[in-house]
Amino acid sequence: MNLYSKKQKWKYFLAIIAIVIVIAIIWYTSFISAKVRNEERFKVQLWGESIRKKAALVKLTNQSFSALALKERENVEIWARATKEFEKPLSDYSFALTIIRNNVDTSDIEDNIPLILTDNNNKLISYVNLPEIDLVKEKDKFVSNLIAQWAKINTPVKISYSNEKSQNIYYNNSIRYYDLLNKRDSLLNSFKEDLLLNSALVPVIFFNENQDSIIASNIFSIDMSKQDSIEKINIIKNENQSFKVDLGEGKQGILFFQNSLTLKQLEYFPFILIGIIILFLFVAYLLFSTFRRAEQNQVWAGMAKETAHQLGTPISSLMAWMEILKSENVNLTSIDEMNKDIHRLETITERFSKIGSSAKLEKVNLVLVVKDNIEYLKNRISKKINVKVTSSQDNIIILGDKSLIQWVIENLTKNAVDAMKGAGDLTFSFKIEKRIAILDVSDTGKGIEKLKTVFEPGYTTKKRGWGLGLSLAKRIIEEQHNGEIIILHSEVDKGTTFRIKIPLV
């Protein structure tokens, strides 16, 4: 198993663990969110039931209040009719006096109804249940003020004796009436406070049955006459399932509520947490990758320079042995080929010595560099490989390092020969587009399946090999020559085309 395959397996393993962690976080947060959502709905339901009961109590108190008000007016009207009886020539007025006393003047002071009897010109005739009137010096003014106030509270009762003669009864309500009124108002205020000021509740809107009027809401900015409020109401209506509150007498209210801010934050929390973790891991990955790459570069540079140093001694010895062979009249053809190999070793030594150092770029003819390199390789690869070079121009001048470019061509050539298994067509074609020199290297081999990882260190399809050739080629072209190397096209069992781009001078 090669290094790349091991790394890929570890990537898959870590990716699966990460996915499991993410799913666990989302599931657990969703579980908690569901519990909070159910608890909030339960609280709103309890609150709605409390409102229903309080509304029933307010209604009952209001009915009692209305009944008392009606009864007191009836008592005043009875008193008026009894008073009218005094205009008749009766032998006994005790029954009328009893009616008057029982209806407006009782033993319980809280039930007494204060009233003032005036003529048709509002001149005081008599009064009942007003002991303080005797203590006032300006009695007429005091009575006029009371008449004005009471006329606003209750409609006066008119007693007609004839077309020209009448009397008016102005009356106030009893102490019990006002006590009940205060209790009713207190309940109403409590009811409104429960609706509006309960900060423990989520945002709620309480509609009437037809949903055309808001009974109450603890969202103070809601106004059904405004478009933005209508849009907000629609959002709240669609957020959770509503429920009805029975208000009695066949009437119902409809309660809509929105999720609390805490619940919304809880729902978004896992995604924020995952985002922070991903950001942290990304930054950590960049830092560690930078450190790892720097360490690898130092190791590779040190190893390459040491290799170049070690090759220097046997190369020098080989050159000396070549001179000896020449003096002994050995076949010159063989000596020439051996010289080429020695020069190739010198080139390889030069390449290794440049690793880790900035390349010294100079003007070179890319076409000539490629042709010279192919000329050397032709005699060292299978004769069944048909090598072809096509170019519209003979001189394509770039800023480059000749030995490094030859290294790239050599790596691409060897990979193509291996892919074609010693038989096929290998084509080098040149062209220029927008001041960019383009070299396409095409073979008729088995193609490449994993296109995205082909330039990564450790990638190889061979049983023996380090998988560094294409990685080195990419670094030479892109980092040293400010160019680009890509796989232009690859098809399984039909071949692959690599494209190199380098700016012209």
Please give, one letter per residue, the 3-state secondary structure of 236-279: HHHHCCCEEEEEECCEEEEEEECCCHHHHHHHHHHHHHHHHHHH
Contacts of 99-106 spanning 24+ positions with Cβ under 8 A: 100/128, 103/75, 103/76, 103/78, 103/79, 104/75, 104/76, 104/79, 104/128, 104/129, 104/171, 105/129
Which residues lie closer than 8 Å to 502 by C-beta, 6 or more apart? 366, 398, 400, 436, 437, 439, 477, 481, 482, 483
Of residues 347 and 193, the one with the higher pLDDT is: 347
Enumerate domains of the chain plus CATH numbers.
Answer: 18-176 (no CATH), 359-503 (3.30.565.10)
DSSP tally for the chain: helices H, then strands E: 10, 15
State CA 455 to chain mean position distance: 37
Q: What is the pLDDT of residues 106-133, one digit of tens each?
A: 566 777 778 888 888 888 877 777 777 7
pLDDT of residue 364: 94
- Cα(189)–Cα(228) distance, integer angstroms: 29
Of residues 430 and 464, the one with the higher pLDDT is: 430
Q: Indicate whether 97 pLDDT > 60.
A: no
Q: What is the pLDDT of residues 422-458, one digit of tens each?
A: 899 999 999 999 899 999 999 999 998 878 778 876 6
| Cβ 361 vs Cβ 398: under 8 Å | no
Q: Indicate whether 191 pLDDT > 70.
A: no
Judged on CB neighbours under 10 Å (0-12, 13-18, 19+), 135 is exposed
pLDDT of residue 90: 41
Amino acid at 225: S
The residues facing 491 across adjacent strands are 495
Choose the weakest-confidence range: 337-341, 419-423, 455-459: 455-459
- Cα(73)–Cα(221) distance, integer angstroms: 43
Q: What is the mean pLDDT of the chain?
A: 76
| Cβ 394 vs Cβ 367: under 8 Å | yes
The residues facing 387 across adjacent strands are 426
Structure-token pair, residue 136: 């006032």
pLDDT of residue 99: 47
| Cβ 172 vs Cβ 113: under 8 Å | yes
Full-model pTM: 0.42
